[in-house]
Amino acid sequence: MSMEVKRTNRAVYDTKYHLVWTPKHRKWILRGDIREKVNKIFDEISRNHGFEIDTMEITVDHVYIFLSFPPRYIIAIVVGMLKSINASVLFEEHPEVKKDLWGG
């Protein structure tokens, strides 16, 4: 995806954010099908909310995301959405992740 000047009815913007997300205690949970699911969840969130992910790399204990989003959002809201939606879906579909992170 290209990162270029974007336009809305009330703004022209070119925002770029580099986010690093780590699971609790840097646990190595982002492997195999969980890694693929995290990738799909972030892609779906970005499509649904008008975010543009330029680069995303998922390692066993980190997610690196370089993204842009419309100025109607603030960074705290975007990070909150990415983390909360991702955690909700992962905990529902992979209960073992919740056990690994929270001890049961």
Split at pLDDT 50, 70, 90, the class of 1 is: very low
> 72, 26, 34: which is closest to 81 by C-alpha?
72
**pTM metric for this prediction:** 0.75
Which are the contacts of 51, defined by CB distance < 8 A and separation ≥ 6? Answer: 45, 67, 68, 69, 78
Q: What is the C-alpha to C-alpha distance for residues 13 and 11, in angstroms, rounded to an integer? A: 6
Residue boundaries of the structural domains of the chain:
9-102
CATH of domain 9-102: 3.30.70.1290
Q: Which residues pair with 53 in a beta bridge?
A: 67
Query: What would the pLDDT profile of 4-41 be if each residue is shown by its tens digit?
Result: 788 878 878 788 999 998 766 556 567 778 888 888 99
